[in-house]
Homo-oligomer: A and B are copies of this chain.
Amino acid sequence: MKILVLPGDGIGPEIVAQAKKVLATLQSDGLKIELEEAPLGGAGYDAHGAPYPEVTQKLARAADAVLLGAVGGPQYDKLDRPLRPERGLLAIRKDLNLFANLRPAILYPELANASTLKPEVVSGLDILIVRELTGDIYFGQPRGVRINEAGEREGFNTMLYSESEIRRIGHVAFQAARKRNKKLCSVDKANVLETTEFWKEIMIDVARDYPDVELSHMYVDNAAMQLVRNPKQFDVMVTGNIFGDILSDEASMLTGSIGMLPSASLDANNKGLYEPSHGSAPDIAGKDLANPLATILSVAMMLRYSFNAEETATRVENAVKAVLAQGLRTADIYEAGTEKVSCSAMGDAVVAAL
């Protein structure tokens, strides 16, 4: 199995370094993997003048799975739009056809205090958000800034979903729900937007293949409220790219420990890009302070989804649980009574627990 590692920017290199220690351990235990490395985002721009350089593209297409740290940093803010780090992320998602973004929002019992929500509201929280990732207003044409009929400038974008795009993400979501608590909530704004009214219609049709899964529908504004009011009502949520962007970030913050949350972005053949849900945190980059656990848990998702190695995935997840149980914490999840450790020490502890 070929894994392409994209350290990226900010804390990316240091968190990815810990994930590589985990991969090396699994390798010495017999896991057949080959690692390559390439730049993405600001690092791509620095090395090759583009956020998704050709060399990275070539390796990414050839890989079975991609592990990404994070992209972005203030030094790139003034670049032209097509050169900015996040363009690299959008480009690789689109290029590899990674239409299914899986974002778990899980509250680890040891970290229950980290949430800003009351313990009884979030304890045991375990939501999976399935976000469509290669369609919607993110990629819809036409788009831009133009002069309108009144002679005024106007900005415009196009929200767009074809039937097959909705169907394929629907199947991913129903299948995920089937492996969990068999409840799927499809989020739309069908009372206002035709695109999402259409989305709802197709979801209802896809549901006929999954009589064992209970499908419900919720407006996006209500979903944003319900995540705050009673997040444990949800099992799996499925929604489009822009609503998913907003709701998955809201959901991960419910846990208070976004440094713990991995994500997977899959194509139709379970090739995937795996990355932590958090960003590149330029303010703490290079200081060995970052939390590598979301990246390590992203490796677990890679093992599960791309390599079908459920047992090894669980082994990695258990190692993470073990270091939490030992009381080890990076700065972002530290609280009195626990032991504060650096990024690299946390990586070493996970390796030891493996």
Within 8 A of B (CB), among A220-236: 220-222, 224-230
Residues on the B chain within 8 Å of A116, using CB: 117-118, 121, 228-230
B137 to A193, Cβ gap below 8 A?
yes
- Which residue of chain B is the closest to A120 with respect to CB atoms? B116
B163 to A194, Cβ gap below 8 A?
no
> Given the known A-B contacts A191-B84, A253-B229, are A198 and B246 also in contact in the complex, defined by CB atoms under 8 Å?
no
Secondary structure of the A side of the interface? Answer: helix
Q: A136-153 CB contact bits vs B (8 Å, 1 = yes)?
A: 011010011100101011
> Given the known A-B contacts A159-B157, A191-B86, A194-B144, are A228 and B253 also in contact in the complex, defined by CB atoms under 8 Å?
yes
Tally of chain A residues near chain B (CB < 8 A): 62
Report if A158 contacts B (CB, 8 A).
yes
B145 to A198, Cβ gap below 8 A?
yes
- Which residue of chain B is the closest to A140 with respect to CB atoms? B156
B163 to A153, Cβ gap below 8 A?
yes
A192 to B138, Cβ gap below 8 A?
yes
B196 to A224, Cβ gap below 8 A?
no
CA distance A32 to B246 in the complex (A): 46
A137 to B159, Cβ gap below 8 A?
yes
Cβ distance A255 to chain B, nearest Cβ, rounded Å: 10
Residues on the B chain within 8 Å of A252, using CB: 225
CA distance A225 to B155 in the complex (A): 26
A155 to B161, Cβ gap below 8 A?
yes
A157 to B194, Cβ gap below 8 A?
yes
Residues on the B chain within 8 Å of A288, using CB: none
| Contacts A/B (CB < 8 Å), 22 sampled | A86-B191, A86-B192, A117-B117, A137-B137, A137-B192, A143-B193, A153-B162, A155-B159, A155-B197, A156-B195, A157-B159, A158-B159, A159-B159, A224-B249, A224-B250, A225-B253, A226-B253, A228-B228, A228-B250, A228-B253, A243-B246, A246-B246
